[in-house]
């Protein structure tokens, strides 16, 4: 009996060790699940205000953590506007004035296209994997899914706009279901709610995102994924200033 108890204890110990994960490993898996190494997406963004709603359609390409390109495809007045990220640098192409504008780090906290998302949210200048330290706070439940509640605090000198981030990640499929963004004084600024889980590009993902500002809870910005493709493997020169001006 003692032999069987000891064997059972050792088996459980190995099972626990095999399943144990660090907070960093969980964040990496969640980020890779949502972003992929190389990807393409088509999205519809709706800026919702008490008296009006504005809709923007766009295409997005990304490669690793280093490159991203976003092209606005509608409405007509914004069509052709594009944003490029290469490493820690970012540019904006404005066809209406035939000009490429380099965006300084100070603009990362500003509104993207008049929405409740920041420039950093959309082009991902900062990385939740490499620019933050990660801590598990406990378990909770969202959308009937058991989740990890995690705290992300910026590393010293990291190029980030948030003072703290709380992330709620599904323990089964590593889905980001809720993210809370805080300023340097730890006041809540924005809450992003992710839902409508579907198969896209061969992956199970949230396809509906709502960004809600804490100071104006009667407004929000919604992004819905229309399509997603992973492992597109675009060459590095696709993410160039020259291509920024001619991408369609």
Round the CA-based radius of gyration of the chain to a whole number and report it.
20
pTM for the full model? 0.85
Quote the percentage of the chain above a pLDDT of 90.
65
Tell me which of 33-47, 66-80, 166-180 is least confident.
33-47
Tell me how crowded residue 75 is: count the other CB atoms within 10 A of its CB.
Answer: 11
Cα-flanking dihedrals φ and ψ of residue 21, to 5°? -135, 150
Q: Which pLDDT belongs to residue 88?
A: 79
Q: In whole angstroms, give the CA distance from residue 158 to residue 170.
A: 27
Sequence-distant (≥ 6) Cβ neighbours of residue 151 within 8 angstroms: 134, 135, 137, 164, 165, 166
Task: Tell me the average pLDDT of the chain.
Answer: 88
Query: Is 70 exceeded by the pLDDT of residue 48?
Result: yes
Phi/psi of residue 213, each to 5°? Answer: -75, 140
More confident residue, 4 or 57: 57
Residue 126's pLDDT is 66
Q: What is the pLDDT of residue 125?
A: 57
pLDDT 10s digits, 181-229: 999 999 999 999 999 999 998 899 999 999 999 999 999 999 999 999 9
The confidence band for 2, taking pLDDT boundaries of 50, 70 and 90, is: very low
Length of the chain: 248
Residue 3 has pLDDT above 50, yes or no: no
Architecture of domain 21-246: Clam (2.50)
For 111, the enclosing helix (H) or strand (E) is: none
- Tens of pLDDT, residue by residue over 147-194, are 999 999 999 888 788 999 999 999 999 999 999 999 999 999 999 999
Which is more confident, 36 or 137?
Answer: 137
Residue 7 has pLDDT above 90, yes or no: no
Among residues 236, 173, 224, which one has the least CA distance to residue 195? 224
pLDDT classification of 124: cutoffs 50, 70, 90: low
């Amino acid at each position: 009996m003692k032999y069987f108890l000891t064997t059972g204890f050792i088996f459980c110990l190995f099972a626990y060790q095999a399943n144990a994960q660090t907070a960093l490993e969980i964040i990496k898996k969640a980020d890779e699940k949502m972003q992929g190494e190389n990807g393409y997406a088509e999205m519809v963004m709706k800026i919702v205000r008490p008296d009006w709603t504005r809709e923007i359609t766009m295409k997005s390409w990304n490669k690793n953590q280093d490159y991203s390109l976003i092209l606005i495809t509608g409405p007509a007045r914004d069509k052709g506007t594009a944003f490029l990220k290469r490493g820690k640098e970012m540019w904006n192409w404005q066809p209406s004035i035939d000009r490429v504008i380099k965006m300084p780090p100070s603009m990362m906290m500003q509104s993207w296209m008049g929405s409740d998302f920041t420039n950093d949210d959309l082009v991902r200048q900062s990385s939740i994997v490499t620019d933050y330290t990660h801590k598990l706070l406990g378990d909770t439940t969202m959308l009937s899914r058991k989740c990890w509640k995690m705290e992300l605090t910026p590393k010293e000198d990291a190029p980030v706009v948030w003072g703290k981030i709380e992330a709620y990640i599904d323990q089964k499929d590593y889905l980001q279901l809720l993210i809370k963004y805080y300023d340097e004084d730890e006041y809540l600024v924005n809450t992003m709610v992710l839902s409508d889980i579907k198969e896209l590009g061969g992956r199970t993902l949230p396809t509906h995102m709502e960004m809600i500002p804490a100071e104006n809870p009667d407004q929000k910005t919604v992004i819905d994924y229309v399509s997603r493709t992973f492992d597109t493997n675009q060459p590095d020169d696709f993410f160039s200033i020259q291509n920024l001006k001619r991408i369609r």
